[in-house]
């Protein structure tokens, strides 16, 4: 039986096969939640990206490097397909890592 400790690593980080993702959505401070979440038309909020994925699907949410978000309330109520196909939040682009500031009562 496979487990999370069997996943491939790169520099100590788990590597996921992005080509298997049901959805890959992008979020940028210059985006708009009326967009479709592609790299050329990103969402502006992480909440919109989370609302756009389906529970039980391997999905990737990409946050633009150099951007920051002040999050008052974020509900992470979706899971991926399996331990090796979870919901992944990662960065894209150049610059500093995305910055998340939490100021609300829920996470």
Contacts 24+ apart (CB under 8 A), 39-44: 39/92
CA distance 79 to 38: 21
Yes or no: say if 59 and 20 are a contact pair by the CB < 8 Å rule: no
| pLDDT tens figures, 66-99 | 999 988 877 778 888 887 788 999 999 999 999 9
Binned at pLDDT 50, 70 and 90, residue 1 comes out as very low
Give residue limits of the domains in the chain.
19-106
| pLDDT tens figures, 5-24 | 566 666 667 778 888 889 99
Binned at pLDDT 50, 70 and 90, residue 58 comes out as very high
């Amino acid at each position: 039986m496979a487990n999370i400790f069997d996943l491939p690593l790169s520099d100590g980080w788990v590597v996921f096969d992005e080509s298997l993702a049901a959805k890959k959505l992008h979020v940028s401070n210059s985006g708009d939640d009326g967009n479709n979440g592609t790299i050329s038309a990103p969402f502006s909020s992480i909440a919109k990206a989370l609302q756009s994925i389906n529970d039980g699907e391997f999905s990737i949410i990409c946050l633009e490097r150099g951007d920051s978000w002040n999050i008052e309330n974020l509900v992470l109520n979706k899971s991926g397909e399996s331990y090796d196909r979870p919901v992944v939040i990662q960065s894209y682009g150049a610059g500093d890592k995305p910055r998340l500031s939490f100021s609300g009562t829920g996470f």
